[in-house]
């Protein structure tokens, strides 16, 4: 049974009738832009062809019912009394979208919904943003209100920040809502201006390599890295009062080097990564526009090495997977995905070498770590949409 049939059958079992609309919200993987989003920098994600699929129909009241096939759990709440759920925490991503869609001015009522995800949780593919975008899209499909992909991304971010309580940047939600098939999305996290850059997935596939090491320390370390970045901003702001410095985005490599002695070694390293990662993001536009996959793969490798050495968000399992990926046939790159500290590595691999790549990487990694790694071959997908 395919996934659409699965949620249709489940919907019939749970609610006693057939759903009217279906939507998907894809996960995403970042190809460049490690920890640059909250520094007002540049990111380069794709939406992957793994997603949250959701079906539903309108109700004639203000009650939202959501059943998750993955969690085997159902929540019910009134739109007008929609608060954080301590017991069914998975539902808060959808609850937040519903709450902030209402604040946005969208007009909708209740709905019966069923969802299913094939995104591995905790692997760095942003299953949370996928759920947020799928929730917004199914309500839009059912009720027909206007909400652009850009605005829906902001609503998803607000849900994650305020309802769930995670201080993420905009990249995950923006990618899930606005990516385009066979393209990478180059996003300026300050202005939210973006470009679709060609990424021909018939020639090279994106392979997501799951270390099976679930991400640890992410919340505390994420907050620490963020604070360290803004410490640098505060110091450089005093030195350059004539410049409008609000984020590391506003600081050049030259400014950083000139004032290295005024920073701690840790502060210097954090800033060095972010500033150089923004430079790599800009270089990626040129590389992809001219179809230079080799140059782009090298930028991905540099991105990982910088995040490991200067931002210190890798771990032994990620390093083993990056080694495994880079030595495997057909690989142009191996780079940590997401926030780091575990989860997945992402590799750009020649389409005709995929099976050799997977066999080699798995043999190398599993032997080195004793873990049972898993691999997903992805193409760049369209963002959230009705199906």
8 Å CB contact between 133 and 384: yes
Q: Is 172 labeled as catalytic in the residue annotation?
A: yes
On average, the pLDDT of the chain sits at: 95
Q: With a cut of 60, say whether residue 307 has pLDDT above it.
A: yes
Distances (CA, A) of 201 to 176, 256, 296: 18, 38, 14
How much is the pLDDT for 218? 60
The CATH 3.30.70.890 portion of the chain extends over: 207-378
Residue located via tokens 């609309």: 21
How much is the pLDDT for 316? 96
Distances (CA, A) of 272 to 55, 135, 252, 261, 296: 45, 38, 9, 14, 20
Q: With a cut of 90, say whether residue 20 has pLDDT above it.
A: yes
Q: For residues 112-124, b (16+ Cβ closer than 10 Å) or e, as one string?
A: bbbbbbebbebbb
Give percent of the chain with pLDDT exceeding 70: 98
Distance from C-alpha of 221 to C-alpha of 218, rounded to nearest angstrom: 5
Q: Which residue has the higher pLDDT, 220 or 353?
A: 353
Q: With a cut of 60, say whether residue 205 has pLDDT above it.
A: yes
- Would strands 73-78 and 194-198 be described as parallel, antiparallel, or unpaired? unpaired
Distance of CA 260 to the CA centre of its chain: 32
How much is the pLDDT for 69? 97
Q: What's the CATH number for 207-378?
A: 3.30.70.890
Instruction: Give the tens place of pLDDT for each residue, 71-104.
Output: 999 999 999 999 999 999 999 999 999 999 999 9
How much is the pLDDT for 350? 96
Assign 70 a pLDDT band (cuts: 50, 70, 90).
very high
How much is the pLDDT for 293? 96
Give percent of the chain with pLDDT exceeding 90: 90
Structure tokens at 12: 């019939």
The CATH 3.30.230.10 portion of the chain extends over: 3-199
Q: Catalytic one among 49, 172, 210, 250?
A: 172
Instruction: Give the tens place of pLDDT for each residue, 163-183.
Output: 999 877 899 999 999 999 999
Helix (H) or strand (E) holding 329: none
How much is the pLDDT for 120? 77
Helix (H) or strand (E) holding 131: helix 127-143
Q: With a cut of 90, say whether residue 219 has pLDDT above it.
A: no
8 Å CB contact between 296 and 290: no
* Class at the top of the CATH hierarchy for domain 3-199: alpha beta
Distances (CA, A) of 365 to 20, 261, 359: 45, 40, 10
Q: Which residue has the higher pLDDT, 119 or 60?
A: 60
Q: With a cut of 60, say whether residue 210 has pLDDT above it.
A: yes
Q: How far apart are the first and last CA of the chain?
A: 17
Structure tokens at 203: 């020639």
Q: With a cut of 90, say whether residue 132 has pLDDT above it.
A: yes
Residues paired with 65 in a beta bridge: 76, 112
Distance from C-alpha of 174 to C-alpha of 169, rounded to nearest angstrom: 10
Distances (CA, A) of 125 to 45, 111, 147, 215, 286: 10, 27, 24, 12, 26
Sign of the torsion formed by the C-alpha atoms of 185, 186, 188 and 194? negative
């Amino acid at each position: 049974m395919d996934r659409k049939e699965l949620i249709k059958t489940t919907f019939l079992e749970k609610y006693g009738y057939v759903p009217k609309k279906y939507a998907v919200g894809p996960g995403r993987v970042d190809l460049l832009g490690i920890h640059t989003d909250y520094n007002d920098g540049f990111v380069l994600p794709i939406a992957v062809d793994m997603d949250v699929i959701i079906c539903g129909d309108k109700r004639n009241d203000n009650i939202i019912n959501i059943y998750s096939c993955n969690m085997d759990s159902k929540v019910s709440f009134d739109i007008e009394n929609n608060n954080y759920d301590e017991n069914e925490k998975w539902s808060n991503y959808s609850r937040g979208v519903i709450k902030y869609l209402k604040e946005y001015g969208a007009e909708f009522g209740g709905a019966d919904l069923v969802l299913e995800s094939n995104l591995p949780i905790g692997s760095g593919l942003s299953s949370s943003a996928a759920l947020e975008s799928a929730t917004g899209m199914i309500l839009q499909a059912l009720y027909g209100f206007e909400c652009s992909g850009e605005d829906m991304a902001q609503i998803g971010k607000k849900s994650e920040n305020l309802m769930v309580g995670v201080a993420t940047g905009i990249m995950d939600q923006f990618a899930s809502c606005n990516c385009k098939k066979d393209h990478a999305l180059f996003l300026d996290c300050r202005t939210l201006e973006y470009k679709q850059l060609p990424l021909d997935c018939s020639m090279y596939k994106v392979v997501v390599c799951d270390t099976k090491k679930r991400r640890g320390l992410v919340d505390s370390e994420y907050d620490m890295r963020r604070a360290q970045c803004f410490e640098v901003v505060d110091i450089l702001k005093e030195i350059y009062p004539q410049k409008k410095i609000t984020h590391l985005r506003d600081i050049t490599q030259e400014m950083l080097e000139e004032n290295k002695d005024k920073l701690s070694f840790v502060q210097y390293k954090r800033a060095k990564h972010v500033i150089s990662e923004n430079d790599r993001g800009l270089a990626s536009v040129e590389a992809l526009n001219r179809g230079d996959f080799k140059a782009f793969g090298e930028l991905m490798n540099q991105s990982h090495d910088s995040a490991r050495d200067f931002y210190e968000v890798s771990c032994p399992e990620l390093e083993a997977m990056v080694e495994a990926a880079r030595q495997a046939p057909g690989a142009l790159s191996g780079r940590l995905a997401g926030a780091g500290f575990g989860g997945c590595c992402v590799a750009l691999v020649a389409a005709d070498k995929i099976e050799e790549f997977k066999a080699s990487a798995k043999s190398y990694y599993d032997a080195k770590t004793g873990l049972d790694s898993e691999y997903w071959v992805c193409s760049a997908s369209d963002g959230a949409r009705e199906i």
